[in-house]
């Protein structure tokens, strides 16, 4: 049975805001060496799914088999995850991300995994072009901290296959979800991005570069190999992608943080010049899915920023966040570094909670717990649609 390791270290580095960009790692290893197939390929165990053709994804593929499939196969068939529905009402100029509020009470350390919604694997918003420009500038400065490969696995060709799979899955998702903005010419293998006004000859460029230039989100691919690790990821099948969210209260919109002494020093003190309008909720909405041909696992991270003042008309959110910050697990909060903004955000949350009581939105003394609509809040969709003008 394939088992994986180092995955939590990699994930944690993203959670604290380290390399927010497209990365490829091959750190994942198996606890024991699985018996190879007769053709020498690594045997990847997957659960059976009645919705999939028997050939997918129940077998390990050789390079020759993958090559024979050809470019840009139908990943809905290969994975068992349907393509997203077209989002015709979407307007990139006004689009807002869904208001993720992944707060929980009782507050303890769990992965809080849920089934991925196929329509929302990649989520564009009105900051699309701005974020791509920011990320390009970060890449110029940090180079291989942003895009890199590690080929120290027994079958390094699988790494290249995984990169191409990711690119092709991204193309198929974007063209299906946002047909007014993206088109793929399957005869010339040219991808048209109408937002940027650019065409990409996809098989003449590095797949990771393509993803980086078209999706302002972060990806990490991990590959199975010989070694040690955990059972969960060996059981992840292509038809059962998952999602989760992490959060932090930050100053401004820090997209990329290298960490280190300067970063830790800034979070260890309380700056009394911080104003309420400076505070932002940063949500890192994360997805996890198995690639059907290479057997790799793709982690996807989207960084979303919302002014904390938005909580004021979100029923129960101020009370829940205040509860977590005042009474939550101290070790987890210390890891998040929330103390450096608590002197500003706690009075702010208390005031918003009282206001909701006065307005009849929240009941005084009501038990605080994870919202029933989690990871959203009651009435979120109406507000979200109004913000976008439809």
Tell which wins on pLDDT, 27 or 222. 222
* pLDDT class of 386 with cuts at 50, 70, 90: very high
pLDDT at residue 260 in the model? 59
Distance CA 2, CA 231 (A): 7
Which residue matches tokens 């969709």?
Answer: 381
**pLDDT tens digits, 343-356:** 999 999 999 999 99
pLDDT at residue 258 in the model? 72
Which residue matches tokens 């165990």?
Answer: 45
Beta carbons of 108 and 329 less than 8 angstroms apart: yes
The total domain count for the chain is 1
- CA nearest neighbour of 358 among 308, 318, 298: 318
pTM (predicted TM-score): 0.83
Report yes or no on 81 lying in a domain. Answer: yes
Q: What angle do CA 10, 15, 17 make, to 5 degrees?
A: 100
**pLDDT tens digits, 227-263:** 554 566 778 899 999 999 999 999 999 988 776 555 6
Distance CA 360, CA 255 (A): 37
CA distances from 30 to 23, 234, 256, 288, 317 (A): 21, 9, 31, 18, 41
* pLDDT class of 188 with cuts at 50, 70, 90: very high
Q: Is the pLDDT confidence value at 47 over 90? A: no
- % of residues, the chain, pLDDT over 70: 78
Report yes or no on 334 lying in a domain. Answer: no
Report yes or no on 2 lying in a domain. Answer: no
Q: Which residues constitute the domain of residue 191?
A: 7-104+113-308
* pLDDT class of 113 with cuts at 50, 70, 90: confident
pLDDT at residue 95 in the model? 97
Instruction: Specify which residues 115 forms β-bridges with.
Output: 242
Q: Is 200 exposed, middle or buried (0-12, 13-18, 19+ CB in 10 A)?
A: buried
Report yes or no on 154 lying in a domain. Answer: yes
pLDDT at residue 166 in the model? 98
pLDDT at residue 147 in the model? 93
> In the predicted model, what is the mean pLDDT of the chain?
82
Report yes or no on 364 lying in a domain. Answer: no
- % of residues, the chain, pLDDT over 90: 65
Beta carbons of 283 and 304 less than 8 angstroms apart: yes
Beta carbons of 256 and 16 less than 8 angstroms apart: no
Q: Which two tokens stand for residue 106?
A: 């009782």
Beta carbons of 26 and 227 less than 8 angstroms apart: no
Stretch 264-275: mean pLDDT: 78
Q: Is the pLDDT confidence value at 318 over 80? A: yes
Report yes or no on 231 lying in a domain. Answer: yes
Q: Is the pLDDT confidence value at 58 over 80? A: no
Report yes or no on 318 lying in a domain. Answer: no
Report yes or no on 158 lying in a domain. Answer: yes
């Amino acid at each position: 049975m394939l088992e994986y390791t180092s995955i939590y270290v990699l994930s944690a580095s993203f959670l604290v805001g380290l390399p927010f960009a497209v990365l490829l790692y091959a750190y994942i290893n198996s606890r024991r060496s699985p018996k190879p197939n007769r053709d020498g390929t690594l045997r990847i165990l997957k659960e059976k799914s009645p919705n999939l053709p028997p050939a997918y994804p129940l077998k390990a593929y050789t390079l020759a088999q993958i090559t024979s499939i050809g470019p840009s196969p139908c990943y809905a068939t290969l994975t068992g995850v349907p393509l997203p529905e077209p989002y015709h009402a979407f307007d990139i100029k006004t689009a807002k991300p869904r208001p993720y509020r992944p707060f929980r009470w009782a507050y303890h350390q769990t992965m809080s995994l849920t089934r991925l919604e196929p329509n929302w694997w990649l989520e564009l918003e009105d900051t699309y072009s701005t974020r791509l420009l920011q990320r390009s500038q970060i890449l110029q400065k940090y180079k291989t901290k942003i895009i890199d490969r590690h080929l120290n696995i027994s079958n390094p060709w699988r790494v290249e296959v995984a990169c191409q799979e990711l690119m092709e899955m991204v193309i198929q998702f974007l063209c299906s979800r946002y047909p007014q903005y993206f088109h793929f010419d399957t005869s010339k293998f040219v991808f048209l991005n109408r937002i940027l006004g650019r065409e990409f000859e996809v098989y003449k460029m590095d797949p990771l570069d393509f993803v980086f230039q078209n999706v302002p989100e972060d990806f990490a691919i991990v590959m199975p190999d010989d070694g040690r690790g955990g059972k969960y990821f060996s059981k992840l099948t292509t038809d059962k992608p998952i999602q989760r969210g992490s959060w932090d209260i930050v100053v401004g919109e820090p997209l990329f943080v290298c960490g280190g002494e300067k970063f830790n020093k800034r979070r260890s003190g309380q700056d009394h010049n911080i104003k309420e309008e400076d505070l932002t909720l940063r949500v890192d909405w994360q997805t996890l899915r198995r690639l059907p041909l290479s057997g790799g696992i793709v982690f996807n991270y989207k960084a979303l920023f919302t002014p904390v003042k938005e909580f004021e008309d979100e029923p129960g959110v101020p009370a829940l966040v205040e509860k977590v910050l005042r009474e939550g697990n101290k070790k987890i909060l210390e890891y998040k570094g929330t103390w450096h903004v608590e002197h500003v955000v706690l009075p702010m949350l208390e005031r918003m909670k009282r206001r909701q009581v006065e307005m009849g939105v929240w009941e005084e003394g009501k038990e605080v717990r994870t919202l029933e609509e989690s990871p959203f809040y009651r009435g979120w969709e109406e507000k979200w649609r109004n913000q976008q003008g439809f």
